[in-house]
């Protein structure tokens, strides 16, 4: 092939692919790989596209190994304080103070420096609970790598989600649903006769399936993260607006995670901390609090929220931003409409509105209740 000639990815592409077709290739990859749409605006991605444009005739994409090993090692952190080594040493020191026997799991977000710290932590302390997901991945990769083992399974284990967290959760859930069949499979004559079962990875897969500690870990993962998964489904759905539910549901998530982990603070605190950090200034702003206050599903059940000074302050903030310089409308909303809402006067007190707020299902839309 002549150097400088564009490489066409589809047989029906012309020899010189127009920009629209290049865009379609990028879009198809983003959809199939579940890449968030806002990633297209990432500055590093823009730099990458410019670099490809300069070196496209000779450029070859890196392998998975390149991304996992040499490229990752070459990546520099923005400051010494947040390097993987620093995070590793900090967490390791905390574990020593608490006692390794009292630590079940180390929970982080998926930033590269934190992942590097987790890798080092697993090398030093391989018993950490993060191994549950790693073991599940090792087993599913082995099953899907060979057509004979996949034929033995006969059903899909991996259930892809929109984001990595959802995929991990759904896959663990699928494993639990098929636990009995999986354990029967790895102890069957067909498994014993399969040549792949005698390989190192095959023996590891067998050990994972018959390990009671692994299954206990899977159950704990599901109990701890199911509340958060429900909120992700709420946000991802398109049947009704989620704004009026997010703040209250995240409050419930925090309590349910604590209960799932038996109110053991060392276990639930890292998870709650990550949720709080992600939600801060994103899901707990004035608009979210105002939407929570104006959701009859919550307010009609617990009107005490109207006495919360923070909620009232956010309502004033939202009204001022929605109707800037229109003091007549501001006055009407705050001093006329809000008191009606609090007392369930007019349309707010209709029997139909109260019934609609009893059950929070797909048909319930707080916005429509307020309009009616």
- Residue 259 domain-assigned? yes
For 210, residues 6+ apart whose C-beta sits below 8 A from its C-beta are 183, 186, 187
Same domain, 194 and 247: no
Inside any domain, residue 76: no
The Cα 42–Cα 39 span in angstroms is 5
pLDDT at residue 7, as a whole number: 43
> 72 in a domain, yes or no?
no
Whether residues 275 and 254 share a domain: the answer is yes
- Cα(186)–Cα(139) distance, integer angstroms: 11
pLDDT at 228: 87
- One domain for residues 340 and 312: yes
Structure tokens at 272: 């709650």
Domain encompassing residue 12:
1-67
* 314 inside domain: yes
Q: Cα separation of 2 and 195, whole Å?
A: 45
Question: Who's near 150: CB < 8 A, 6+ residues apart?
Answer: 143, 144
Name the token pair of 235: 């946000």
Tell me, yes or no, whether 289 and 206 share the same domain. Answer: no
Q: Is 292 found in the same domain as 325?
A: yes
Do residues 63 and 144 share a domain?
no
Residues 95 and 160 in one domain: no
For residue 298, count other CB atoms closer than 10 A to its CB.
Answer: 21
pTM, full prediction? 0.50
Question: Same domain, yes or no, for 213 and 316?
Answer: no
Same domain, 189 and 275: no
CB 175 within 8 A of CB 96: no
Instruction: Tell me, yes or no, whether 306 lies in a domain.
Output: yes
109 within some domain = yes
Q: What is the DSSP string of 165-184?
A: HHHHHHHHHHHHHTHHHHHH
Out of 232, 260, 277, a domain closes at: 232
- Torsion angle (degrees, nearest 10) of CA 260, 264, 269, 270: -80
In sequence order, the 6+-apart residues with CB closer than 8 A to the CB of 191 are 152, 185, 197, 206
Burial of 72 from C-beta contacts in 10 A (0-12 / 13-18 / 19+): middle
Per-residue confidence (pLDDT) for residue 10, from 0 to 100: 44
Q: Which of 204, 232, 260 is the last residue of a domain?
A: 232
Q: For residues 162 and 92, state if they share a domain.
A: no
Class of residue 228 by CB neighbours under 10 A (exposed 0-12, middle 13-18, buried 19+): buried
Place of tokens 């994972």: 208
pLDDT (0 to 100) of residue 78: 42
Domains contained in the chain, number: 4
Q: What is the DSSP string of 181-221?
A: HHHHHHTSHHHHH-GGGGSHHHHHHHHHHT-HHHHHHHHHH
Residue 21 lies in a domain: yes
Residues 265 and 356 in one domain: yes
162 neighbors 137 (Cβ within 8 angstroms): no
Is 284 domain-assigned? yes
**Looking at the structure, do residues 196 and 152 belong to the same domain, yes or no?**
yes
Looking at residue 47, what DSSP letter applies? H
Residue pair 42/170 in contact by the 8 Å Cβ criterion: no
| Per-residue pLDDT of the chain in tens (372 residues, 90 and over written 9) | 333 444 444 444 444 456 788 888 888 888 888 888 888 888 888 888 887 777 766 678 888 877 777 677 556 544 456 677 777 777 777 777 767 655 545 656 556 777 777 777 766 665 454 556 677 667 666 666 655 555 555 444 444 444 555 777 888 888 888 888 888 888 888 888 888 888 888 888 889 888 888 888 888 888 888 888 888 878 776 667 778 888 889 999 999 999 988 898 888 898 899 889 888 877 888 888 888 888 888 888 888 888 888 888 888 888 888 888 889 999 999 998 888 888 888 777 777 666 656 665 555 666 555 544
């Amino acid at each position: 092939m002549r150097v400088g000639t564009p490489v066409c990815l589809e047989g029906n592409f012309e020899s010189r692919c127009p920009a629209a077709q290049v865009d379609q290739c990028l879009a198809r990859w983003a959809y199939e790989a579940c890449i968030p749409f806002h990633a297209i605006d990432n500055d590093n991605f823009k730099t990458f596209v410019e670099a490809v444009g300069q070196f496209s005739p000779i450029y070859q994409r890196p392998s998975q190994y390149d991304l996992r090993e040499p490229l990752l090692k070459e990546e520099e952190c923005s400051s010494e304080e947040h390097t993987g080594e620093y995070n590793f040493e900090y967490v390791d020191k905390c574990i020593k103070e608490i006692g390794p026997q009292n630590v079940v799991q180390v929970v982080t977000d998926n930033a590269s420096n934190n992942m590097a710290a987790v890798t080092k932590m697993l090398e030093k302390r391989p018993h950490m609970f993060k191994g549950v997901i790693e073991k599940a991945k090792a087993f599913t990769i082995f099953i899907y790598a060979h057509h004979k083992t996949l034929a033995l399974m006969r059903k899909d284990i991996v259930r892809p989600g929109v984001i990595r967290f959802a995929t991990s959760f759904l896959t663990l859930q699928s494993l639990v649903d098929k636990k009995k069949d999986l354990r029967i499979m790895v102890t069957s004559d067909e498994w014993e006769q399969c040549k792949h079962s005698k390989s190192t990875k095959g023996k590891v897969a067998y050990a994972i399936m018959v390990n009671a500690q692994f299954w206990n870990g899977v159950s704990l993962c599901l109990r701890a993260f199911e509340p958060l998964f429900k909120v992700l489904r709420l946000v991802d759905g398109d049947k009704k607006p989620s704004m009026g539910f997010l703040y209250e549901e995240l409050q419930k998530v925090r309590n349910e995670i604590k209960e799932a982990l038996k109110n053991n603070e060392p276990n639930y605190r890292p998870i709650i901390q990550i949720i709080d950090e992600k939600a801060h200034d994103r899901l707990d702003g004035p608009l979210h609090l105002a939407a929570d206050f104006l959701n009859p599903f919550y307010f009609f059940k617990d009107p005490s929220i109207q006495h919360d000074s923070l909620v009232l302050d956010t309502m004033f903030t939202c009204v001022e931003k929605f109707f800037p310089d229109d003091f007549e409308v501001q006055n009407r909303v705050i001093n006329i409409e809000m008191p009606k809402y609090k007392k369930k006067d007019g349309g707010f007190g209709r029997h139909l509105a109260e019934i609609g707020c009893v059950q929070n299902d797909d048909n319930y839309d707080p916005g429509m209740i307020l309009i009616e």
